[in-house]
Amino acid sequence: MANYGENEAQGKFWNDAPGQSWVKHDAVMNLRLGNISDILFNRLGDVVVANVLDIGCGTGSTSIRLAETLAQEATVTGIDISEPMLGKAREKSANLPSVSFVAADAQAFAFETGKFDAVISRFGVMFFEDPPKAFSNIRSAMKPGSQLTFVCWAPLEENEFFSLPLQTVLDFVPSEYEFVANAPGPLAFSNKEYLMGILQSSGFSNCDIEVVKTTVDTTDTPEEDAAVLMQIGFGARAVREAELDQKRMDDLYQLFLETSRSRQSDGVIKYGATIYVVTANA
């Protein structure tokens, strides 16, 4: 069982239905985030490192990609709080002895001091109960001067992958959907000033937050896309909270389907996205 550490709420969340949904849709979600993964790895460049840590590694796609780009003797450690997602990660990396995974809360996990030459994350660092403590803990695991590189989401209104499905649900089931500023979740670091303050208070230097516009793309059919968006993301969360009967769920699916069709062009469905590419030195 995963060690939830000081993050019980997120531990329960990602070991329940949401984490299982990500496992189910692992391949399609990894393709959807392909543009963003490329941006992250382009920022890493030709890194020469021996030990790398992947925070919030999920189903292990970034950990595996990193291992395949590094020297043969390099090692990659992925850490995540979700056992279902780590189970999938271990399955996918079974033929890569240089990759290992730890089920734990990175905020409280007792890392070996100064072990890692670099730390990366693709949307895995926004879920800490105490971000300054978490980043201080992560920094303690890094060699002095080594680089932290991660991507996180900009505000909701700049990310159609989140905002359009959510609005579809809210129009169908009129209700208020309140976002608590800086609360653990995908948009926890959408305020750049808040994020910069966390990095600096955690002891990082040379902190930089680059705003990058891109797209979340899929070659899924509109039917497949609508089904995925009803199970993953803010729209999916609103669907679960609405507790609709099957008839209403079917009606809502048709609205999701209309949106998916409207986004499709030349066989590709695109959603506008804005991310922050963050770098800092330990």
Q: Answer for the pair 30, 97: CB distance below 8 angstroms, yes or no.
A: no
Separation in Å, CA 248 to CA 173, 177, 239:
10, 19, 10
Q: In the predicted model, is pLDDT for residue 78 greater than 70?
A: yes
* Distance separating alpha carbons of residues 229 and 212, to the nearest angstrom: 23
* Distance separating alpha carbons of residues 206 and 2, to the nearest angstrom: 33
Q: What was the pLDDT predicted at 3?
A: 62
User: Measuring CA to CA, which residue among 108, 61, 63 is closest to residue 81?
Assistant: 108
Query: In this predicted model, what pLDDT tens digit does every residue of 58-67 receive, in sequence order?
Result: 999 999 999 9
Q: What was the pLDDT predicted at 9?
A: 85
Return the beta strands (E) in 81-182 as ranges: 99-103, 116-122, 142-153
* Distance separating alpha carbons of residues 58 and 79, to the nearest angstrom: 8
Q: What was the pLDDT predicted at 1?
A: 45
Confidence of residue 2 (pLDDT cuts 50, 70, 90): low
Q: Answer for the pair 115, 141: CB distance below 8 angstroms, yes or no.
A: yes
* Distance separating alpha carbons of residues 103 and 25, to the nearest angstrom: 20
In CATH terms, the superfamily for domain 8-155+179-217+274-281 is: Vaccinia Virus protein VP39 (3.40.50.150)
Contacts of 98 (CB under 8 A, 6+ apart): 67, 70, 72, 73, 74, 75, 76
Q: Answer for the pair 85, 93: CB distance below 8 angstroms, yes or no.
A: no
Q: Answer for the pair 142, 170: CB distance below 8 angstroms, yes or no.
A: no
Helix (H) or strand (E) holding 218: strand 205-218
Query: Quick one: residue 233, left, alpha or beta (phi over 0 = left, psi -120 to 50 = alpha)?
Result: left
CA 275 to chain centre: 11
Q: In the predicted model, is pLDDT for residue 49 greater than 90?
A: no
Query: In this predicted model, what pLDDT tens digit does every residue of 102-161 receive, in sequence order?
Result: 999 999 999 999 999 999 999 999 999 999 999 999 999 999 999 999 999 999 999 999
Q: Answer for the pair 27, 224: CB distance below 8 angstroms, yes or no.
A: no
